[in-house]
């Protein structure tokens, strides 16, 4: 196909990892929009391929090299094709990527992607660039002039980035850098703009979102709860969520907001990682299983119907069967509506990498056991929704005719047939069935 000069260039972005990468990919697409790029869903017809990568576990990071290898033929066919690597693998091993994979034209870390248009222009001139700085300027401000296209009903909004906690297993403090909070006024402006574009639910993002401490509109030090209360005032915004929180930053005002702010949804992702104090200490988590359980009691006192979610690591160095059993006990006690469990992955440069590792097969066995328990609770909590009436924000048409799917306040996927619902509407739904991954319901008038 021959392209005319005015034809837009096509950008294919593939996103790995957490929600912050999803948000960042949107920002990068908008930044490159200024260079005449429009997004495409297939690598094959792209003029630029950008991988937004995750470094959290070894598998996630290794995947990038095999993915890049797959683009060799495309680049042979289309020598003008630009290939870029962004995100946390770019930050952690940018130079190695350049060395191992000559196909790559540019490498950009999570804190410098506002420089992407400039880097793209250089790459077009045959100059490869690697930018993994933690620059002084505010990347969010640099990206302000964005196209104002209509959007679906839900959006992510980064309010805080980076982490100062240094859990012994985790690369995030190295890949994302130190904790930084955006000023509240900028977040509120961005939220209003999202609502103008059709967004009804905003999920505030941060690697340690509840440690948010940005400047308030009046210059005072803000908390996440204060920010949530300001967002609560935006007409047209129906729901607020936030993720991911650390137990030590669950402040009183935030717990209270769960009981009093109607737009703040009754769902909380609060990772604990392990139920064994011995392991928590080795993980440098600076909380105990007991303090975590008491915290959940307080949260449930404020919002009794809250659905809890968490993250767990099994097979952390020196984890014994007794330690693992303590984790299962904690899960029994909390009963999570959702929980994510991972087998420990040794990450270069982190303190836990130096400790005696647990046998891989034992780690696999523990992962199976923990997932069995989590799935059982997940099902029970989902099935307990049958017969109840819940509010659902409808997000998109379902696979069947006249079907719409959305999410309940508790984040369960819900599908309905009929009922005249439109995208972006919140409607009360009576739940009538519970499937493997979603609920079925009937819209009430």
Q: Which residues bind ligand F3S (CB under 6 A)?
A: 17-18, 20-21, 54-56, 87-88, 171-172, 175-176, 207
- Tell me if 26 sits within 8 A of 203, measured CB to CB: no
Q: Rounded CA gap, 182 and 248, in Å?
A: 20
Q: Rounded CA gap, 385 and 367, in Å?
A: 27
Contact between 250 and ligand SAH by CB under 6 A: the answer reads no
- Taking alpha carbons only, the member of 40, 86, 95, 39 closest to residue 64 is 86
CB of 313 to ligand SF4, least distance (A): 9
Residue 261 assigned as binding residue: no
Q: Which of residues 77-136 bind ligand SF4 (CB under 6 A)?
A: none
Q: Rounded CA gap, 149 and 429, in Å?
A: 30
Helix locations, 303-359, DSSP H: 321-334
- Tell me if 427 sits within 8 A of 153, measured CB to CB: no
The helix/strand/coil state of 433 is strand
Q: Which of 56, 191, 202, 289 binds ligand SAH (CB under 6 A)?
A: 56
CB of 106 to ligand SAH, least distance (A): 26
User: Is residue 158 packed enough to be buried (19+ CB in 10 Å), middle (13-18) or exposed (0-12)?
Assistant: buried
Cis peptide leading into 427, omega within 30 of 0? no
Q: Which of 17, 87, 117, 173 binds ligand SF4 (CB under 6 A)?
A: 173
User: Residue 229: CB partners within 8 Å, gap ≥ 6?
Assistant: 257, 261
Piece in contact with ligand SF4 (CB under 6 A), picked from 158-166, 395-403, 404-412, 415-423: 158-166
Q: Looking at the DSSP assignment, which residues form a beta bridge with residue 180?
A: 161
Residue 88 assigned as binding residue: yes
Q: Which does 313 bind (CB under 5 to 8 A by kind): ligand F3S, ligand SAH, ligand SF4, none?
A: ligand SAH
Other CB atoms within 10 A of residue 409 CB: 19
- Rounded (5°) CA angle 235-156-375: 115
Q: What is the largest CA-CA distance in the chain?
A: 67
- When the beta carbons of 113 and 344 are compared against ligand SAH, the nearer one is 344
- When the beta carbons of 23 and 267 are compared against ligand F3S, the nearer one is 23
Contact between 246 and ligand SF4 by CB under 6 A: the answer reads yes
The helix/strand/coil state of 342 is strand
Q: Within 13 A of 342's CA, how many CA atoms are on the CB side?
A: 17
Structure tokens at 295: 């915290």
Piece in contact with ligand SAH (CB under 6 A), picked from 68-76, 340-348, 412-420, 425-433: 340-348
Piece in contact with ligand SF4 (CB under 6 A), picked from 19-27, 170-178, 261-269, 370-378: 170-178
- When the beta carbons of 109 and 183 are compared against ligand F3S, the nearer one is 109
CB of 141 to ligand SF4, least distance (A): 24
- When the beta carbons of 65 and 342 are compared against ligand SAH, the nearer one is 342
Q: Which of 172, 194, 228, 421 binds ligand SAH (CB under 6 A)?
A: 172
Instruction: Name the residue with tokens 């609502």.
Output: 195
List interacting residues with ligand SF4 (CB under 6 A): 163, 165-167, 170, 172-173, 207-208, 246
The residue ranges that bind ligand SAH (CB under 6 A) are: 56-57, 169-170, 172, 207-208, 244, 246, 271, 273, 311, 313, 342, 344-345, 347
- For the annotated binding site for [4Fe-4S] cluster, the residues are 18, 54, 88, 163, 167, 170
Residue ranges at the known binding site: 18, 54, 88, 163, 167, 170
């Amino acid at each position: 196909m021959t392209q005319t000069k005015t034809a837009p260039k096509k950008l294919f972005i593939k996103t790995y990892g957490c929600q912050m990468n999803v948000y960042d990919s949107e920002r990068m697409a908008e930044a490159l929009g200024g260079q005449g790029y429009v997004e495409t869903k297939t690598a094959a017809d792209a003029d630029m391929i950008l991988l937004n990568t995750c470094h959290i576990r070894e598998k996630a990071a290794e995947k990038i090299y095999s993915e890049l290898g797959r683009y060799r033929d495309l680049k042979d066919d289309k020598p003008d094709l630009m290939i870029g690597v962004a995100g946390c693998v770019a930050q952690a091993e940018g130079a190695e990527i350049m060395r191992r994979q000559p196909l790559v034209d540019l490498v950009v870390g999570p804190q410098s992607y506002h420089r992407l248009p400039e880097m793209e222009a250089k790459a077009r001139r045959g100059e490869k660039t690697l930018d993994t700085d933690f620059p002084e300027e505010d990347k969010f401000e640099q990206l302000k002039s964005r196209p104002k296209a209509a959007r679906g009903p839900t959006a992510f909004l980064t309010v805080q980035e980076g982490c100062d906690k240094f859990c012994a297993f985790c690369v995030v403090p190295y890949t994302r850098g130190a904790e930084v909070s955006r000023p509240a006024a900028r977040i509120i402006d961005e939220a209003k703009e999202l609502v103008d574009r059709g967004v009804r639910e905003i999920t505030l993002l941060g690697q340690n979102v509840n440690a948010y401490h940005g400047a308030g509109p009046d210059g005072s030090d803000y908390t996440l709860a204060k920010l949530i209360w300001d967002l609560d005032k935006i007409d047209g915004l129906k729901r607020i969520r936030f993720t991911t929180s650390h137990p030590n930053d669950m402040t009183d005002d935030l717990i209270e907001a769960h009981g009093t702010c109607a737009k703040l949804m009754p769902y909380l992702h609060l990772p604990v990682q392990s139920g064994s104090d011995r392991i928590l200490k080795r993980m440098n988590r600076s909380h105990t299983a007991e303090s975590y359980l008491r915290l959940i009691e307080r949260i449930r006192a404020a919002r009794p119907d809250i659905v809890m979610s968490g993250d767990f690591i099994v097979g952390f160095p020196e984890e014994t069967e007794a330690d693992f059993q303590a984790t299962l006990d904690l899960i029994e006690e909390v009963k999570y509506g959702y929980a994510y469990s991972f087998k420990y992955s040794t990450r270069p440069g982190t303190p836990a990498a130096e400790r005696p590792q647990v046998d891989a097969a034992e780690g696999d066995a523990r992962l199976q056991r923990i997932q069995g328990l989590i799935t059982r609770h997940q099902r029970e909590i989902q099935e307990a929704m049958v017969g109840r009436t819940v509010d659902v924000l409808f997000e998109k048409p379902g696979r069947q005719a006249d079907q719409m799917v959305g999410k309940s306040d508790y984040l369960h996927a819900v599908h309905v047939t009929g009922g005249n619902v439109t995208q972006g509407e919140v409607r009360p739904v009576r739940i009538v069935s519970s499937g493997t991954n979603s609920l079925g319901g009937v819209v009430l008038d």
